[in-house]
Amino acid sequence: MTFSLAMFAFFVSLDRFAALHVMLSRPIVIATIVGLLTSNLYLTFYIGILIEIFGLIDVQVGTRIPREDSFVAFVISVLVGNGYFTSVSKFLVILLLLLLLMYAANMTEELVRNINKKVFTKYPYSNWPILFGVVVSGLRGVLVYSAGVYFCILVIDYLGGIFKHGHNIKTYSIFISILLSGYLLRFLSFKSLYKYIIFLLGLFLGWLIV
């Protein structure tokens, strides 16, 4: 991963739960900036729409920590931006894998939050815990997001030629299918679990159509 992407991961993680809070960590913003950095803005923008819909399932309320949609958006956008996907099937496999890895990413976020909380509690009258929290929170993004990118690249290499090549129009089709299912997700007053199930059904529906 390039230095510019690593620095961007630093600020995304920082914006997500430690400082800034300027919506830099929203999936559609992440995908757009990654697209600019990888010279593949058009396709990564569609990725941002997709993950933004997913992020709307689990909205942050109060002190509740939402799912790490920033992690999913960053990794999948980097992979798409660098042309790692040659078929919709391979894209779908990696996306489902990232939805599972998202829970591990959430665990690292909770860990860093707890560390920062303990440091601030132990040294309430010092200024250095602020800098400590900023650095640790940002580095967490660099390490976790980079690990996600490289792990997915290993999986893609392992899959090799299992899936046949496909045209970009298929990718667009699956995005449209997910967008339609996501529109319903936003306004249904169901539990999050049911919304995740509908989202996954939308993924498979798009795959079957293409």
| Rounded Cα gap, residues 170 and 23, in angstroms | 30
Average pLDDT, the chain: 81
What is the pLDDT at residue 38? 92
Cα of 104 vs its chain's centroid, Å: 12
pLDDT in tens, 58-68: 666 555 667 88
Give the structural domain span for 85.
Answer: 3-209
- Burial code (b: 16+ CB inside 10 Å, e: under 16) for 109-133 equals beebbeebeebeeeeeeeeebeebb
Q: Supply the pTM of this predicted model.
A: 0.84
H/E stretch holding 21 reads none
Residue 31: band (very low, low, confident or very high) from pLDDT cuts 50, 70, 90 = very high
The encoded tokens of residue 96 equal 């489902």
Q: What is the DSSP letter of 109?
A: H
How many domains are contained in the chain? 1
pLDDT in tens, 143-195: 999 999 999 999 988 877 666 655 554 566 566 666 666 665 555 666 667 77
